Structure 1
Amino acid sequence: MAARIYQRPKNAMQSGKARTDEWVLDFEQTEARRADPLMGWTGSGDTQAQVQLTFPDKAAAQAYAAKHGIPARVHATPPRHLKLQAYADNFR
């Protein structure tokens, strides 16, 4: 029951940065997904893959994983690159 810890990325569909300061702990799948023969939906019996816990910082997420004996990998947050550009640059 391994887990991964990462910082939530900015939503690509919106310009706001809400909830990007949260850290997320979610469990990796232990069972393969399979298609339901009647409906065609994919699913599995692994209920831990549905669990997603949020924490205010990375240390709190790591402390939770250590306290409950969960082997967790921390994924580093990629740096944000700002493209600073003026409106006048469109006419160069």
Structure 2
Amino acid sequence: MTARIYQRPKNAMQSGRARTDEWVLEFEQSEARRADPLMGWTGSSDTQAQVQLTFPSKDEAKAYAGKYGIAARVHATPPKSLKLQAYADNFR
């Protein structure tokens, strides 16, 4: 059972920063998805892939994984870059 720990990115459809300071522990899929022959939906019998745990800090997520013997990989948060641009720059 392996998991990954990452910081939740900002949604492209929102301007605020709600829930971007949370860290997420998410289990990786242990078996491949397969298509249902009748409906065409994809799914698997792996229920761990549906679990997402949130933590206020990276250290708490790592401590939880260590306590329960979960092999977890921590994904670094990409640096945030702001592109400051004025409306007048469109007419230069």
For residues 3-25 of structure 1, give each alpha carbon's deviation from its aligned partner in whole angstroms, at most 9, with x where no partner exists.
Answer: 00000001011211111000000
Within 1, Cα distance between the matches of 2:36 and 2:46? 15
SS of residue in 2 equivalent to 1:65? helix
TM-score w.r.t. length of structure 1: 0.96
For residues 14-43 of structure 1, give each alpha carbon's deviation from its aligned partner in whole angstroms, at most 9, with x where no partner exists.
Answer: 211111000000000001101111111000
In structure 1, runs of 5+ residues without a counterpart are none
Residue equivalent to 2:61 = 61
Pair 1:81-2:75 in alignment: no
Within 2, Cα distance between the matches of 1:91 and 1:40? 51
SS of residue in 2 equivalent to 1:40? coil
Residue equivalent to 1:47 = 47
Query: For structure 1, which segment, 2-11 or 13-22, has the greater mean C-alpha deviation from structure 2 after superposition?
Result: 13-22
Residue equivalent to 1:23 = 23
TM-score w.r.t. length of structure 2: 0.96
Alpha-carbon RMSD: 0.7
In the alignment, residue 6 of structure 2 is paired with which amino acid?
Y
In the alignment, residue 51 of structure 2 is paired with which amino acid?
V
SS of residue in 1 equivalent to 2:37? coil
Displacement of 1:87 after TM fit? 2.2
- Residues matched between the structures, number: 92
Query: For structure 1, which segment, 57-66 or 12-21, has the greater mean C-alpha deviation from structure 2 after superposition?
Result: 12-21
Identity %: 85
SS of residue in 2 equivalent to 1:25? strand
**Runs of 4+ residues deviating >6 angstroms:** none
